[in-house]
Structure formats: structure tokens, C-alpha cells
Homo-oligomer: A and B are copies of this chain.
């Protein structure tokens, strides 16, 4: 018996308003998160996307480019939000809370990208690496400046601002269970817990 298999060529499935490259970048995010950038191979990624490894190169330039996209995508969102927060005329505690809430939201809605950007940026190579590190430093400096302003008008306890920033950022960025809290209730509960502990701990009362 002779059987003819008529195979059609694979194709990257896209939804309205998403390029194929975006699909690849997105799958790369979850792969890099799961295995780490170095341990995740282009063949792994190809399989996740449903295509042969070489086909990926019709859409991207290199594996490292994927890391660029992820890291700077996240960094830009954080930077823009910082611009916003600084431009508003809130008191310091309110600003800090806004920064924390934004960060938590990013963790919930873009978990993989934020996680990767936070843990795998070391594997960037050098024009990008220093650029990224600079952005990181800047963000922290601006965050610390807000806390310091709050300390000056007695809104916030007289603590070391840079240390407080590191604590806050790592506390939020470290939670591994964001993606598990699919139910909105869990996420909300987690959020308010974090706000209580982190922001509440700063207040001068």
C-alpha cells in the first residue's frame, strides 16, 4: 500500500496587528525565562515557534538581537513611566507607590520579558551592555531621589535611599510566582500585601 502525505509548509501563525518577528520575540522571552539565555538554543526556539531553526533568520538578525529587543523594550517602558511620575505633582509617598504599582503590573502583564530583562542582561554585548547598565543606574538614581525628597519633608523615615530602592526593586522583581497568580484576586492580594510591607515600611508615622 502506498500512502502519499501531502505536507504543506509550516508557517508562523500571527494574529491581527502582530508581525512574525513579534511572535518570535515573545516565544523567545518565555524560553529565555525558562532555561536562561545561554541554555536556550535557536533550535528550541524554532520548535516553540513551529518552524525550522534557519527560518527564524528571515525575521531576525541574530540570537542576541532577541535579547536586545526584550531588554530595551522593558527598559524603555520603565523609563517612560519614570518620566510620567516625575512630572506629576504628587507627594513622595504617592510617587513611590505609583512606581511600585507600575512595577508590579509589569510583572503580572509582561512577566517573561521583565524577568528576562532583569536576569539575563549580562549576556548583552558591548555597545548595548553599557547602554543598558546606564539606564538601570539612572532609573535607580531617580527612584532614590524621590525617596530622598520624601525624607527631607519628613514624609519618609530617615533611611538610606539607595538601599531602600534596591530592596524595593529586588523584592518585586524576585517574586517567582507572578505568573502563577492567574486569578485576579491572587494578584490583587499579592499587590496590596507588597504595598503594605514595602511602602508602609517607609512611612514616617
Q: Closest CB of chain B to A131's CB: distance in Å?
A: 18
Q: Does A197 contact B (CB under 8 A)?
A: yes
Interface size on A, residues (CB 8 A): 31
Question: Chain A interface secondary structure, helix, strand, loop or mixed?
Answer: helix
A200 CA to B39 CA, complexed, in Å: 40
Of all chain B residues, the one with the shortest Cβ separation from A176 is B166
Contact, CB under 8 Å: A163 / B38: no
Q: Closest CB of chain B to A42's CB: distance in Å?
A: 14
Most buried by B among A122, A190, A196: A196
Contact, CB under 8 Å: A173 / B170: yes
Provide the residues of chain B in CB contact with A124, threshold 8 Å.
Answer: none
Q: Does A169 contact B (CB under 8 A)?
A: yes
Contact, CB under 8 Å: B193 / A160: yes
Q: Closest CB of chain B to A180's CB: distance in Å?
A: 13
A-B contact pairs, 20 of them (CB 8 A): A38-B38, A38-B39, A39-B123, A159-B196, A163-B190, A163-B193, A164-B197, A166-B171, A166-B174, A166-B175, A166-B177, A167-B194, A169-B174, A170-B171, A171-B171, A171-B174, A174-B174, A197-B201, A200-B201, A201-B201
A residues neighboring B (CB under 8 Å): 35-36, 38-39, 119, 122-123, 157, 159-160, 163-164, 166-167, 169-171, 173-175, 177, 189-190, 193-194, 196-198, 200-202
